[in-house]
Amino acid sequence: MKKCLFIILIILSVFACKKKTEFSPEGPTDVRIRNLSDVTWQEVTVDIDTVVHYGTIAAGGTSDYMRFPKAYPKATITAKIIIGGSPVTFSTGVADYTYMQYLGQDKVTYEVYISNMNKNELAIHNVIHEEPLVLK
């Protein structure tokens, strides 16, 4: 009887163990930027609770994917654009993530354009979910 009780306790303890996953449902997310304007952007940075430097993105070009722990439909994106021979900083402004849904474990592309040249503003035109992120 003691042997049977011992075996049952071992079986229950094995099934009670929970495997800890390395990734959570809200992320990570691989993000790239597509420059929809007709000018080259330099020193492009994206801030989604983590600041990542993308470098230079050519006019109409797309950056490489960079990984974020989690991402949202909005982001704080800044870029320097050469106007009249000197660099001018353009930005989407600070994004507020309150009540926003996570983009999840996907590869996404932010399509960004210059929304107001006089006020140095960028805007996200569209967020394209390219494909699910394969995690190993």
The CATH number assigned to the domain holding 66 equals: 2.60.40
CA distances, 23 to each of 43, 52, 61 (Å): 30, 20, 30
Torsion sign over Cα 117, 75, 41, 128: negative
**Residue 7 placed within a domain:** no
pTM: 0.79
Number of domains the chain is built from? 1
Confidence of residue 33 (pLDDT cuts 50, 70, 90): very high
**Residue 8 placed within a domain:** no
What domain range is 58 assigned to? 24-132
**Residue 110 placed within a domain:** yes
**Residue 19 placed within a domain:** no
pLDDT digits (tens, 9 = 90+) for 75-93: 999 999 999 999 999 999 9
CA distances, 49 to each of 5, 10, 21, 72, 97 (Å): 51, 43, 22, 10, 9
